[in-house]
Structure 1
Amino acid sequence: MFHSPRPNVRDLVDPMAGGLIVSCQVQHDDPIYTPDMVVKMAEAAAWAGAVGIRANSPEQIRAIKEAVDLPVIGLWKVWHPDTDVFITPTMAEVDAIVEAGADIVALDCTFQTTHEGTSAADLLPRVRERHPETPVFADVSNAEEARLAVVNGADIVAPTLYGYTAETAHIEGADYRMFAGFCRDLGDKAYVMMEGHLYTPEDAMKCVFLGAHAVVVGSAITRPHLTAKRFVDLLDGYRDNWRDAERASH
């Protein structure tokens, strides 16, 4: 049976309707890295009128929560050998980002195998049981994963990992047809948001037209080195693929 959005989730997420959530993340090896960079990103997003922030790691979540009065979708990227599951892969990361003050927790809800030998999708029901009041944002890569995530209690679902799994790694752009199906099939059961492969305001508007409750944009806004790489790759006749750099730093 599908779960309907809960009252506390509606109070938090309804005001995001039609708005922009900015993914404010920086890795230590990024050319733009400074200790306070994510705070500057979040402050810029708030100034622009964003309705939420997506942030990585307890440290960065705390810093952003102190700086801006916006809901924070929290995750923790942790890489392990022999697996492509890195977005909040275990309950330990969930506990840490909840304790850090994340308003919403983002999880890898794909069918990929974790470093513990389980399906990433198996974590969601456990999170709902352990943190029943915390809204869950399911990062998926296809329609089957999206449907199971909603069945398992996800409050929000988005094709965040489309293009970042072994099955979709060849993908260069957003699949608007697939996303429209998300909205038709799941939009009355969970909040469907768009995240991934959005590079212009027109891309975002297309998703809202198709039924997105809100859109999440990261690299096109907060990672100027990747935006510059897109220009360079085109001007250089696509001898390199800027997406390889994006995947390596995702």
Structure 2
Amino acid sequence: MKNNHELIQSLKNELIVSCQALPGEPLYKEEGGVMVLMAQAAIEAGAAGIRAQGVTDIKQIKDAFDIPVIGIIKREYPSFDSYITVTMKEVDELVEAGSDIIAMDATFAKRGDGKTINGFFKEVKEKYPDQLFMADISTLEEGLNAAEIGFDLIGTTMNGYTEETKEQTDVNFQLMKDLVEQTDRFIVAEGKLHYPEQLKKAFETGIHTAVVGGAITRPLDIAKRFIHALPNN
């Protein structure tokens, strides 16, 4: 079993593939079984890690493969603008499921419990001091804050998906570069990476690793991009 340092180093200059499906999506099954096959395909292609959503999929992937898994739980709560691993309930479930790294929304989004991300993460680290955590952020300020409060990895996951960054419709290479240069954390490129050329450019900014999901494991979205290119659309 790798220790935390060895696990993070195993992801350096490698690709993590996000294998997720939510209720209402074509590949979602409550009993699982689909995302573990997606993970198998990604691993056979050379992926060094998997990002997965939900206890069932995480456990199935962990049981099937000896590979680092970034675990998240997407769950909406009233008065919370964020939805990625936002309460201790999700953190507890992800630890129990065996997530090697737990990712959570580390933006400054409104929390219905009245806590800040700083206060919440302090509680999380006190409960799970040896667990690796990844901050999903949208701005440089949020990334700098995540580094200061002790996240191990910082991902550009939420850039373009918050009110403050909604005008950002393409990959934000500058944010990656700024995070690399202004923090001492492991930076993860994630979000809007649709083409290999973009992935190559992302690594040129000095990032540690990258997550690609939609371009690989979401056939509905992939098909829509081609359908929109048809002459009659």
The TM-score by the shorter chain falls in which range? over 0.9
1:6-64 per-residue CA deviation (whole Å, 9 max, x = no partner) reads: x9432111011110000111112112334311111111111111110101111111011
Aligned to 2:12: 17
Residue 143 of structure 1: which of 140, 145, 153 is its match? 140
Tell me, yes or no, if structure 1 residue 58 matches structure 2 residue 55.
Answer: yes
Q: Assess, with a 3 A threshold, how the Cα gap between structure 1 residues 235 and 171 changes in structure 2: closer, same or farther.
A: farther
List alignment gaps of at least 5 residues for structure 2.
none
The letter of the residue matching 1:103 is: D
Q: Does 1:127 align with 2:116?
A: no
Q: What residue number does 1:208 align with?
A: 203
Alpha-carbon distance in structure 1 between the residues aligned to 2:167 and 2:26: 26
- What amino acid is aligned across from residue 159 of structure 1 in structure 2? T
**Which digits, 9 at most, give the CA deviation of each residue in 1:125-168, with x for residues without a partner?**
22211101101111000001001111111000011011111222
1:226 to 202, 208, 221: 221
* Deviating more after overlay: 164-173 vs 219-228: 164-173
Match of 1:4 in 2: none
Return the TM-score normalized by structure 2.
0.93
1:114–1:235: structure 2 CA closer, same or farther, 3 Å change rule?
farther
Partner residue, 1:28: 23
1:158 to 137, 155, 158: 155
Instruction: Report the more deviating stretch, 215-224 or 170-179.
Output: 170-179
Once residues 230 and 118 of structure 2 are traced to their aligned partners in structure 1, the CA distance between those partners, rounded to angstroms, is: 40
- Name the amino acid aligned to 1:53: I
Alignment of 1:27-176 (within 5 A): 27-34=22-29, 35-176=32-173
1:195 and 2:211 are equivalent in the alignment: no
Identical aligned pairs, as a percentage? 39
Identify the residue that residue 178 of structure 1 maps to in structure 2. 175
Superposition deviation, residue 117 in structure 1: 2.7
Kept in 2: contact 1:75–1:106 (CA 8 A) = yes
Matched AA of 1:184? E
**Separation of aligned partners in 2, 1:190 and 1:236:** 46
TM-score of the pair, normalised by structure 1: 0.87
Query: Which residues of structure 1 form unaligned runs of 5+?
Result: 1-6, 240-250
Structure 1 residue 202: Cα displacement: 1.1
User: How far off is 1:183 after superposition?
Assistant: 1.1
The secondary structure found in structure 2 opposite 1:117 is coil
Q: CA–CA distance in 1 between the matches of 2:48 and 2:68?
A: 7
